[in-house]
């Protein structure tokens, strides 16, 4: 399973990269706004910097919602670096844009996936990734993990190459359950990734080892 970090924060991206387990980065307009980035030039430069930090797929989301504007914006984003994946929203014009980029050999990630039907359409249009939003489904009392399972079955039935990129991860349990179900990728905030490290028996065991190590020197 690939690990992506879901942030536009450069310090967090560097920290995850330094861990040695990072395969890519996802961002969205909300995450970019959180870092105070605004204006086309600043946005393109920020993606360029992320590409310099991480050698993996970097999802850069279009800000527009019409076919013509999305393909213009996506072409500009894709020109930044070969690792850029153009992130397109799950709307009718988005499906057409996915097909356009697929025909051009530009990688895409279809975002805001909340149903198996949406994932199927995006795969049919040639998306490289679909991003089902687990946490936001859980927020409205719908089992997000069930959606990952449904998409896994559908993609396996027809051997779609489209990868399931589980997004809106809120906890280490989301990551573990995605791994059990067979999501291809998780994109997560740094804290949920770091929380995978924790276990009280590890802390207790290490304290004992450190105490006993002193007896050996």
The residues annotated with a catalytic role in the active site are: 87
Q: Does 57 bind ligand G3P (CB under 6 A)?
A: no
CA of 154: how far to CAs of 2, 36, 112, 118, 213, in Å? Answer: 20, 39, 18, 12, 53
Return d(Cα 72, Cα 139) in angstroms, integer.
34
Can residue 26 be called a binding residue for ligand G3P (CB under 6 A)?
yes
CB 111 within 8 A of CB 28: yes
Q: Which is nearer to ligand G3P, 100 or 133 (CB)?
A: 133
Q: Decide if 70 contacts 62 (C-beta within 8 A).
A: yes
Tell me how far CA of residue 11 lies from CA of 8, 17, 49, in angstroms: 9, 10, 12
Q: Assess 6 for contact with ligand G3P (CB under 6 A).
A: yes
Give which of 154, 157, 97, 107 is closest to 129, Cα–Cα.
Answer: 107
Among 115, 136, 182, 195, binds ligand G3P (CB under 6 A): 136
Which structure tokens are listed for 210? 């450190």
Instruction: Give the binding-site size for ligand G3P (rule: CB under 6 A).
Output: 9
Query: Which of 83, 109, 187, 192 lies at the binding interface for ligand G3P (CB under 6 A)?
Result: 187
Residue of the chain from 22, 25, 28, 108 that contacts ligand G3P (CB under 6 A): 28
Asked if 172 interacts with ligand G3P (CB under 6 A), we say no
**Short-list 166, 161, 102, 93, CA closest to 131:** 166
Q: Would you say 9 or 104 has its CB closer to ligand G3P?
A: 9
Confirm or reject binding of residue 108 to ligand G3P (CB under 6 A).
no
| 135 binding ligand G3P? (CB under 6 A) | yes
Nearer to ligand G3P, 68 or 162 (CB): 162
Site stretch for ligand G3P (CB under 6 A), options 17-25, 41-49, 114-122, 131-139: 131-139
Residue 77 burial (C-beta neighbours within 10 Å; 0-12, 13-18, 19+): buried
CB 131, min distance to ligand G3P, A? 6
Nearer to ligand G3P, 131 or 213 (CB): 131
Strands 24-26 and 2-6, by their bridges, are parallel
Q: Which residues are near ligand G3P by CB under 6 A?
A: 6, 26, 28, 133, 135-136, 167-168, 187
């Amino acid at each position: 399973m690939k690990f992506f970090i879901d942030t536009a924060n450069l310090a967090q991206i560097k920290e995850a990269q330094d861990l040695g387990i990072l395969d890519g980065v996802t961002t969205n307009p909300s995450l970019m706004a959180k870092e105070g980035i605004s204006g086309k030039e600043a946005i393109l430069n920020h993606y360029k910097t992320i590409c310099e930090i991480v050698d993996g797929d970097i999802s850069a989301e279009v800000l527009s919602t019409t076919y013509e504007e999305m393909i213009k914006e996506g072409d500009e984003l894709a020109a930044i670096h070969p690792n850029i994946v153009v992130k397109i929203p799950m709307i009718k014009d988005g499906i057409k844009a996915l097909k356009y980029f697929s025909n051009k050999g530009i990688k895409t990630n279809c975002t805001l996936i909340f149903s198996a039907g949406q994932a199927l359409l995006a795969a049919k249009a040639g998306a490289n990734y679909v991003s089902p939003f687990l946490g936001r489904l859980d927020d409205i009392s719908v089992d997000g993990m069930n959606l990952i399972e449904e998409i896994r079955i559908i993609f396996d039935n027809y051997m779609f190459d489209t990868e399931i990129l589980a997004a809106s991860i809120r906890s280490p349990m989301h990551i573990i359950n995605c791994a059990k179900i067979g999501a291809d990728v998780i994109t997560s905030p740094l804290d949920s990734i770091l929380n995978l490290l924790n276990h009280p028996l590890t802390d207790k065991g290490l304290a004992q080892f450190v105490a006993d190590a002193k007896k050996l020197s």
